[in-house]
Structure 1
Amino acid sequence: MDKVDFKRSLPGFRAKQGRFDLIEVPDSQYLMINGHGDPNTSPDFASALTSLYPLAYGLKFFSKLELGRDYVVPPLEGLWWADDMTTFTSARDKSAWDFTLMLFVPDWLDGEHVDGVVETVRSKGSAPRLGEIRFETLREGTCVQTLHIGPFDDEGPVLERMHTEVIPEAGMKMSGDHHEIYLSDFRRTAPEKLRTILRQPVTPQSDLA
């Protein structure tokens, strides 16, 4: 049985450092859970992780055993927003951040599959916020994205350039939440080696006039 690795097969999981690409992202389905605050200290962040992964791995094994389709559980992703977006660039006030943590779900799995696996995971009691996880389609469309290598706290200048230079010069405006894709396992990777895709949905300036 071939095992699909979406990091290799889907263009949205690829980016290059120092280059800002304008890409079209297809509608994609995810397991999602919300939280608030500094990801380094927020109990929301830790409990979101310990709830998402049992369900994601349950889906993977269901797909392999019941459907005959195996895949690598994709990288963790996050949507981030705040009332003042400078908290992501210059101020870096993490206590003001809201987030949605997400794990991509292959398109051959549907809501009925998810519901069935939820019951299996619930019976094991291994996901403290299982009831808060939702299965939804994310529609981003046109996006600008780049690869950041290094500590998360060094993202500020890259995002500042993306927001104030790259996007306006392309005749675009930001139209959705800041999106990050964590290609590295930040629990096991040295900060200077972290690889993170930074993505921003955009729309033509004329559409927001």
Structure 2
Amino acid sequence: MKVDFKKSINSYAAKRNQFAVLDVPKMQYLKIDGHGDPGESEYALAVEALFPVAFSLKFLSKKLLDKDYVVPPLEGLWWAEDMETFTTRRDKSQWDWTSMIMTPDWITLDMFEQTCKEVSRKKSPESLDKLRLESLDEGACVQTLHLGSFEDVGPVLDKMHNEFIPQNGLSMRDRHHEIYLSDFRRVSPEKLRTILRQPVSQQLA
């Protein structure tokens, strides 16, 4: 039976116009780091390295372990020295990012390395050597669903960061996280569905 993690892991679900606090489980990801505007070539090269490995791992998992699954959506961690570059100024040139795809915990480092060698022989993506397999344990987070262009997330993040989080006795930690439920290469900007997530901790009295 094919596993669809978007349906089996509740942190892959969110509602529009609602901020929810939830505990995100520890998960394993294919990751690649970069800097700057996601519209520039560095980000595109990262995505070009991620997807061939993600799908090849899926096929290897089915072949070796008889475990099949739907490849999860593209995700991204975003940060900068000044977080206002996300909310008010939206200065993309100042952004740092990690582009990533969740990978089941039964995928081993040996399987990852074998797959990277296979992808290198067939396609040899330019950024393949920057790819790594690594866990992420976010724990308590606030998240919501944004419908629309990436250019319009600023006010939503401003409300999350400066209203909902402090008003609920929480403080931000770690990196802003986005989950791209829509394929932005095929879906028009106004119909894009993106989960916006921020790890939080309880404020000390």
CA–CA separation in structure 2 for the residues paired with 1:119 and 1:43 = 23
Q: Could you say which residue in structure 1 is the equivalent of 2:123?
A: 125
Does structure 1 residue 115 correspond to structure 2 residue 113? yes
Does structure 1 residue 102 correspond to structure 2 residue 82? no
Compute the TM-score of the two structures, normalised by the length of structure 2.
0.97
- DSSP 3-state at the match of 1:189: coil
Report the aligned-residue RMSD: 1.0
CA–CA separation in structure 1 for the residues paired with 2:168 and 2:42 = 36
Query: Residues 22 and 143 of structure 1 are in contact (CA less than 8 Å); yes or no, is this contact kept in structure 2?
Result: yes
CA–CA separation in structure 2 for the residues paired with 1:182 and 1:149 = 11
**Deviation of the 1:12 alpha carbon:** 1.0
Q: Could you say which residue in structure 2 is the equivalent of 1:21?
A: 20
In the alignment, structure 1 segments of 5+ residues that lack a partner are: none
CA–CA separation in structure 1 for the residues paired with 2:190 and 2:201 = 33
Compute the TM-score of the two structures, normalised by the length of structure 1.
0.96
2:49 maps to a residue whose letter is: S
Q: 1:151 aligns with which of 149, 152, 157?
A: 149
Aligned length in residues: 205
Q: Percent identity?
A: 56
Q: Could you say which residue in structure 2 is the equivalent of 1:36?
A: 35
CA deviation string 1:50-109 (max 9, x = no partner): 011111111000011111111111000000001110111111111111100000001111
Q: Could you say which residue in structure 1 is the equivalent of 2:86?
A: 88
Which one is further off, 111-120 or 140-149? Answer: 111-120
**Deviation of the 1:205 alpha carbon:** 1.5
Q: Could you say which residue in structure 1 is the equivalent of 2:43?
A: 45
**Deviation of the 1:123 alpha carbon:** 1.6
Does structure 1 residue 199 correspond to structure 2 residue 194? no
After the TM superposition, which parts of structure 1 deviate over 2 Å for at least 4 consecutive aligned residues? none
CA–CA separation in structure 2 for the residues paired with 1:199 and 1:63 = 29
CA–CA separation in structure 2 for the residues paired with 1:157 and 1:104 = 28
CA deviation string 1:5-45 (max 9, x = no partner): 111111110000011000001111000001111112x2110
